[in-house]
Structure 1
């Protein structure tokens, strides 16, 4: 069981890093679209705003994932410690 906790922890850490990289890429793309719309192509503004909202939603979802994952890991560790061998 102890080994499984660490495997799940490393999996959560990998998913968190991957989603963070995706979040950064989406945010940069949204900023580039914002700059393009300000510099003359106003048609891109709606897409930039939608992309910015999707980045914010992704950030909230990632925060919930990290919070719930840490809570689950803590519960698993407490269960393991309270269970007699």
Structure 2
């Protein structure tokens, strides 16, 4: 069963992520990765594993507006996997 994205994560997505994506769109692929990966890691770390699919869908939708879907898909996959491993280690 898929859980909804927590409200504080949705708020962060809609306040921080558009400016981060805009800034990242003005640089090369390595700049995109360096700029977005820490923020996306944090989003996944604070989102329940059951909501990761919904979070990924929202991230990809937002990234599409900046032609950064491929980059975001890579970051999201890595961040989701990392967060899932951390949760497994905790419990």
TM-score, with normalisation over the residues of structure 1?
0.37
Q: State TM-score, norm by structure 2.
A: 0.35
Q: Which has the larger radius of gyration?
A: 1
Comparing both structures, which one devotes a greater share of its residues to helix?
A: 1
